[in-house]
């Protein structure tokens, strides 16, 4: 079986990084990707934006904290993971996220490109 995710997109917020009780750094990131969807009746380009939840651990999380900011174009490799839990009110919740193995900033940050 293969579970491999490759994404290229822009961070929609600065990484949210904290230390777990074990001392391991954990980074939560949100990434937006754009998919070309042809042209509409007027010939205008149509695109769809998807938002992805990313989570990184250890040195990868530390790298995110040091080098990544909102607007940065990033290449991400990881695996898809769905987790579920129960709220204190007894409701069942689930979330799908990409557990990051590695990422690489691409080019200048959005604000540097202008």
Does a structural domain hold residue 41? no
CATH number for the domain spanning 88: value is 2.40.50.140
Does a structural domain hold residue 87? yes
* pLDDT band at residue 110 using 50, 70 and 90 as cut-offs: low
Of residues 108, 25, 33, the one with CA closest to residue 69: 108
- Residues constituting the chain: 114
Domain region containing 56: 5-36+46-106
pTM of the entire predicted model: 0.82
- Please state the domain count of the chain: 1
How many CA atoms lie less than 13 Å away from 30 in the CB half-sphere? 8
Does a structural domain hold residue 62? yes
Q: What is the pLDDT of residues 72-88, one digit of tens each?
A: 999 999 999 999 999 99
């Amino acid at each position: 079986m293969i579970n491999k995710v490759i994404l290229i997109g822009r961070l929609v917020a600065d990484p949210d990084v904290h230390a777990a009780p074990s001392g391991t750094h954990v980074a939560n990131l949100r990434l937006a990707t754009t998919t070309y969807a042809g042209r509409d009746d007027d010939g205008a380009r149509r695109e769809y934006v998807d938002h992805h939840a990313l989570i990184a651990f250890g040195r990868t999380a530390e790298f995110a904290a040091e080098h990544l900011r909102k607007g940065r174009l990033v290449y991400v490799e990881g695996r898809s993971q769905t987790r579920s839990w129960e709220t204190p009110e007894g409701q069942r919740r689930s979330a799908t996220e990409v557990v990051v193995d590695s990422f690489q900033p691409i080019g200048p940050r959005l604000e540097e490109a202008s």
